[in-house]
Structure 1
């Protein structure tokens, strides 16, 4: 039996912060991923992390967790911190591009999950950021999950945010994010049949 090792980098959303079940979207996706190999999921989250900070740390942290005999893969969970930090779209794009280019050079298949909706005040800017990230990933033929567009007006998502702190989703919100990941190329990326969910 081989091993599929997924290293997930990102902010508090990949850690499932705010989820009373403590699973987040990563735990829910892992639980629904059926593989003949042993599945090891290593989550490396830094709350409030911008794409610049992620770009500076990911390579060293991920490299230490790879196994030469495993099918090593990188999952990049992008958050909304670039907006609060005032990063330009060009800088955010470049940060993701650099991560994906280095992963490709190291032969580590990558999968990107974009930022979900948050406070309504940042809606338009977040839509632009998500589209920019999607473009970077698509140009590199890396799967990209747009969590913004399907959830921006989703009643259950908005209700879940409102029931909490207005920033982090709860159980229902993370469930919606997990559903989007599982139904946007996840199984194909892992070389698994779609009915594996």
Structure 2
């Protein structure tokens, strides 16, 4: 029997692939790469611009269940969020880091009780050093949470911050979201991540 894998990718504009002229983002690229390897699956992109972890906590359950409940022979969920939580409104983060952690724990715990779950961390925010520092700190916090929950976490911030390519990709985009090359860089990190490869190859 052919394995019918369905994966929900739940998150924000970086999940949606905002700014990619190829309209693929990193989700489309890793999906295409899996098909090329003969490990095809159905990808549901549930990325929404400006969504915070609080927004995801309100909508994720219904949206995931609508796509995975009773569907296929295998299901999984990949979460990625955090950058919008760190955006300042009235000099305060839209979602304080401790609340982001609470929201993440609720989302991950609910999903992991039902399906295999992975989390991809937020990428750098090249347009604003202070915002980027908050994202870096949140990424560390989310990594620790996933470690405590025994769930795989892929940090994007540190590797993408290590060279000029991400900053240049964002500059060619809208300053926040990268162009196609930036999303290809994220996809390469996901593709090289053993938990992702294991998820799609099972």
TM-score (normalizing by structure 2): 0.88
Matched, 1:123 2:132: yes
Structure 1: distance between partners of 2:82 and 2:179: 16
- Identify the residue that residue 72 of structure 1 maps to in structure 2: 75
Structure 1: distance between partners of 2:54 and 2:180: 29
Match of 2:68, SS state, is coil
- Identify the residue that residue 189 of structure 1 maps to in structure 2: 199
For the Cα contact (< 8 Å) 1:143–1:189, is it kept in 2?
no
Alignment gaps of 5+ in structure 1: 193-197
For the Cα contact (< 8 Å) 1:2–1:38, is it kept in 2?
no
- How many residues get paired? 191
Structure 2: distance between partners of 1:162 and 1:121: 17
CA separation of 1:57/1:108 partners in 2, compared to 1, >3 Å: closer, same or farther? Answer: same
Note the C-alpha offset of 1:19. Answer: 0.4
Superposed CA RMSD in Å reads: 1.6
Moved beyond 4 Å, runs of 4+: 34-38
- Identify the residue that residue 6 of structure 2 maps to in structure 1: 5
Alignment gaps of 5+ in structure 2: none
Matched, 1:114 2:121: yes
TM-score (normalizing by structure 1): 0.91
Structure 2: distance between partners of 1:4 and 1:44: 16
Question: How do 1:7-156 residues align onto structure 2 when only pairs under 5 Å count?
Answer: 7-34=8-35, 38-68=40-70, 69-84=72-87, 86=93, 87-105=95-113, 107-118=114-125, 119=127, 120-156=129-165
Deviations 1:23-68 (A, max 9, x none): 0000011111156665100111211000011011101110010152
